[in-house]
Structure 1
Amino acid sequence: MRIVLNDFISLDGVVQAPGGRGEDPDGGFEHGGWSMPFFDPESMGAALSDAMQSTEALLFGRRTWEVMADAWPARAGDPFADMMNEIPKYVASRTLSAEEAASRWGNTKVLGGDADAIGSIRSLRAKGGDATIQVMGSASLAQQLVENDLVDEYRLMVEPILLGGGKTIFPSDGRARPLDLVSVAQAKTDVLICVYRPVSSAEGE
């Protein structure tokens, strides 16, 4: 199975709270909702829809899952919302119970936190086949996935704004990780819709 990170990201690498002011104020972050003025339904909406069409499961950290679980069930009847509600979902959490997860947002399975979650994710990824697990947001979890070489594709909507600090999906461990640019498209709002894949060890030599 392939793990794909899908993020709205500022030019300086911040992914925190793109959708709303109160979404994630950790660290005194004051720019919640920064991504919304740049959203182009025609190109960005189509890219998100295309990504979902090839996705067989979603993977979240606890905070992002909470935001999604509070939003999507109430939107039932919209085709995209129905897709979000029906697709299998995994959430990495040390405190969320299986019963609470299933009652709040159907088709959710809880993975253990920290190392336990990474081990479970390794097992999912090792199942093989062409299935795709998509990670939306979930900066802390995404960073752990990058650190552990568990990301097969990056789908990044690079937005023309500098936020001056905030949560990122990129590790700061000093290790270089070469990527291949698979595709790029420009939205009307000057967002660059980029798809990258890690360079294999053979290619990088």
Structure 2
Amino acid sequence: MKASLVLSAVAALVALAPLAPARESQVWGRSPSKYITWSVDPATNGLYFTNQEGSSSKLCDVSAPTALKLTFSPDEKYVFVTDGSSIGTRVSLYKRNSGVKYSKVTAYDFDLATQRLALQVETGKEISSTVLKNSRYLDCAGWSKDGQWAHLTLSGSGSLNGRKVEIDGFKCSFNPARGEFTNR
């Protein structure tokens, strides 16, 4: 009796399985204004922006779509892309040209700049290259209401002059119009 009941339950599940919706492996979201829809092509890991009129543009390739985070400025002129995995994340900044076309801002090394500021504030030390090598997490936590400042957070560990260095949740801000980093 028990075996026939179990077999009936299994048969019912198998019969109903085709009715269940297929899961999409695509990662996607919308900008705050909902004008831009972003999506990651699971076959190529390409990040694409599409507007309401259907125009589309590839922004970049991402390494780990499941860890992807996009943080748009309030006017959507800028977008920080946080990408990485469980062993660390990094940020890239993109500036809108027009419509859904954005260009990568390459003038700043956000990893080095945030580490430099964090170590100046936390330890009084100056660095010329990155020292946080282990489980380094750099993220854009959001934007100021006026959209002038992006708020970044940094955590990680490494060594400087043979001594262990650990930064946990250091907060700083970046003004893309002026290229200015501050810990205010």
Give the TM-score normalised by structure 1. 0.20
Structure with higher helix content: 1
Structure with higher strand content: 2
Higher RCO (C-alpha under 8 Å, 6+ residues apart) = 1
Give the TM-score normalised by structure 2. 0.21
